[in-house]
Amino acid sequence: MLSAADAGDAAALLAAVPADRRVALVDPRFVGHVHALRLGLTDPRFAAATVPGALTARPETRPALLRALHRTTAAVGAGAPVVAPETDPAPEDRTVPGRIAVALEAEGVAVQRPALGSLVAAVPTDPQQQAAAVAQVAAVDDEAVRLRGAVKSRDGFFTTFCISPYSRYIARWCARRGLTPNQVTTASLITALIAAGSAATGTRGGYVAAGILLLVSFVLDCTDGQLARYSLQYSTMGAWLDATFDRAKEYAYYAGLAIGAARGGDDVWVLALGAMVLQACRHVVDFSFNEANHDSVANTSPTAALSDALDNVGWTVWVRRIIVLPIGERWAMIAVLTALTTPRTVFYALLIGCALAACYTLVGRLLRSVTRKARRTERAARALADLADSGPLAQAVASLVHGPKRALTAPAAALIGTLVMVGAALFLPYGSWLTVVAAAVYVVLSGFAVARPLRRALDWLVPPLFRAAEYVTILVLAARSDIPHAVPAAFGLVSAVAYHHYDTVYRIRGGTGAPPQWLVRTIGGHEGRTALVAVLAAVLTHTSGFTTALTALAVAVALVVLVESIRFWVSSSAPAVHDEGELA
């Protein structure tokens, strides 16, 4: 820590700091909580941040910081405001770092001002103010505030009341021993994989151990995010691990249950894959709707207004969160039923619960969409196009029909295509070449659906419909093949494709855009993969080659997607965030 005599001295000291270092300016008269300084100076997610009396800047914003410092010094020396009073983003902060932060924003740099709540951060100018500030600091338990802040403000009932009351203390224990969120996340994954292995034994003891370990894994899953917030250890790798490991743990556990049931003579692979398909489709409904509408202009939906009104009635909030069967409730149900019943019962309960939750959320999304008057932004339309995951076949069709006026809306084209594809897989004779014809129709209708920007009220339905068409087609064709191990191979294929779709969502959320087009083209897009599986079913009817082909396709997709995903998330271009996750 270096002390500066004046602004000119501060500028000289800043210029002497190596260019790759983060710097901070703190007024020597600062009085406040240590955690207030942590929030303002150590959060790696923001290029610049400030609290009263302190300011920090990452290396890329330091040139702008120096210019802001000189500009502030000149303005103060001339007795002029740094910016016009009516445009001042923080008129209450008259400290020197605060004025420099305002000048920094005038340079075009976004400056984060974290909410301090009851924490104190002040620069007293006389003994009375200093005494008052010191008394305020003494009146608030800094550590208690820090622990409360480690817990997400919005979470499910089970997580809020059964996990977070003690997991926050586990997070503090980890922080004091130098453990990182990534290490806790990895421990959660390993624990879940051991749970899956225990379930795969097919014994009652194994099922009981699996249920207990699954709950332990969930506690660690909550702890990693709380540790990140407690110690402000956000990272690009942490964002990737936290965003994807939940799905990997859950689906690995489904596979473990299916293997265990098979050891006992009960084949539930279709139920396991069905549960995974339903859960993935539920998620994409949420992702697609939120991406389509989070930045829409002029939201006037009465349904949204009703939801906001119900939020003021406390018990309705918890009821609605339980109804959607979020991850805490879902994992608790799976763990208890695993220990006490059979894998088949677990999957029946899971399918029924998730189906009811899906109906509830889908109806709510539809009502909001048809009753709102909002203008969708270009960014939202782009996000929906990326979530659609259209490959070269659909894009070729879209380029041909882009000009003429379409008779079908995008959701109608996607819905008809989905019904044609899934209906053919379900009702045509297995291995029929008519299923391949249906796949061709699906490709054409997929191109129609994305031929124009997805800006209409219900266009967010297009990605969920495409997911349902692809996943359900793979499930049905594998189940109807009656070929040994075809459904487990399909489970692997859907897992690999679902990873790609989740990866797309989290990249968009991070503000870095979807995966590169070469990746989408290489793995064929949703319509290409669906058509390929239909062709494989027709060519390799009732032969073990169908299982081999599905396995090879799963491995190929997984390798390409994982290599590109790992490259992206460990690169400097990935967003430095810790995923807060969604209730589902």
Per-residue confidence (pLDDT) for residue 583, from 0 to 100: 43
Per-residue confidence (pLDDT) for residue 79, from 0 to 100: 55
User: Is the pLDDT confidence value at 582 over 50?
Assistant: no
Query: Which residue type is seen at 542?
Result: H
Residue 2 lies in a domain: no
Print the SS3 string covering 335-395.
Answer: HHHHHHCCHHHHHHHHHHHHHHHHHHHHHHHHHHHHHCCCECCHHHHHHHHHHHCCCHHHH
Examine the domain organization and report whether 182 and 317 are in the same domain: yes
User: Is the pLDDT confidence value at 302 over 80?
Assistant: no
Q: For the domain that residue 418 is a member of, what is the CATH number?
A: 1.20.120
Examine the domain organization and report whether 480 and 411 are in the same domain: yes
Query: Which residue type is seen at 547?
Result: T
Q: Where are the alpha helices (DSSP H) in 150-203?
A: 157-158, 164-176, 181-199
Per-residue confidence (pLDDT) for residue 480, from 0 to 100: 95
Instruction: Report the alpha-carbon distance of residue 38 to residue 148 in Å, rounded.
Output: 15
Task: Choose one of 348, 373, 398: the last residue of a domain.
Answer: 373
Contact between 279 and 250 under an 8 Å Cβ cutoff? The reply is: yes
- pLDDT (average), residues 57-62: 91
| Number of domains, the chain | 3
Examine the domain organization and report whether 347 and 450 are in the same domain: no
Per-residue confidence (pLDDT) for residue 189, from 0 to 100: 95
User: Is the pLDDT confidence value at 295 over 70?
Assistant: no
Encoding tokens for residue 543?
């032969």
- pLDDT (average), residues 340-349: 98
Encoding tokens for residue 320?
């609605």
Examine the domain organization and report whether 305 and 424 are in the same domain: no
Give the tens place of pLDDT for each residue, 440-449: 999 999 999 9
Per-residue confidence (pLDDT) for residue 95, from 0 to 100: 81
Instruction: Report the alpha-carbon distance of residue 504 to residue 429 in Å, rounded.
Output: 35
User: Is the pLDDT confidence value at 58 over 80?
Assistant: yes
Encoding tokens for residue 402?
């882009």
Burial pattern 22-61, b for ≥16 Cβ within 10 A else e, equals ebbbbbeebbbbebbbbbbbbbeebbbbbbbbbbbbbeeb
Candidates 400, 434, 430; CA nearest to 420 is: 434
Examine the domain organization and report whether 465 and 568 are in the same domain: yes
Instruction: Report the alpha-carbon distance of residue 467 to residue 513 in Å, rounded.
Output: 20
Examine the domain organization and report whether 471 and 324 are in the same domain: no
User: Is the pLDDT confidence value at 102 over 80?
Assistant: yes
Residue 289 lies in a domain: no
Residue 44 lies in a domain: yes
Q: What is the mean pLDDT of the chain?
A: 88
Residue 291 lies in a domain: no
- pLDDT tier at 402, thresholds 50, 70, 90: low
Per-residue confidence (pLDDT) for residue 83, from 0 to 100: 58
Examine the domain organization and report whether 497 and 524 are in the same domain: yes
Task: Choose one of 140, 174, 205: the last residue of a domain.
Answer: 140
Highest mean pLDDT among 245-249, 299-303, 330-334, 374-378: 330-334
Residue 353 lies in a domain: yes
Give the tens place of pLDDT for each residue, 531-546: 999 999 999 987 889 9
Examine the domain organization and report whether 158 and 136 are in the same domain: no
Per-residue confidence (pLDDT) for residue 429, from 0 to 100: 95
Which has more pLDDT, 310 or 126? 126
Examine the domain organization and report whether 314 and 434 are in the same domain: no
- pLDDT (average), residues 403-413: 76
Which structural domain, as residue segments, surrounds residue 39?
7-140
Q: For the domain that residue 334 is a member of, what is the CATH number?
A: 1.20.120.1760
Print the SS3 string covering 424-471.
Answer: HHHHCCCCCHHHHHHHHHHHHHHHHHCCCCCCCCCHHHHHHHHHHHHH
Residue with tokens 């989740």: 502
Examine the domain organization and report whether 48 and 115 are in the same domain: yes
* Total length of the chain: 584
Contact between 223 and 184 under an 8 Å Cβ cutoff? The reply is: yes
Residue 292 lies in a domain: no
Examine the domain organization and report whether 533 and 435 are in the same domain: yes
Residue 285 lies in a domain: no
Per-residue confidence (pLDDT) for residue 579, from 0 to 100: 47
Residue 502 lies in a domain: yes
What is the model's pTM?
A: 0.89
Examine the domain organization and report whether 26 and 93 are in the same domain: yes
Task: Choose one of 79, 107, 140: the last residue of a domain.
Answer: 140
Per-residue confidence (pLDDT) for residue 581, from 0 to 100: 47
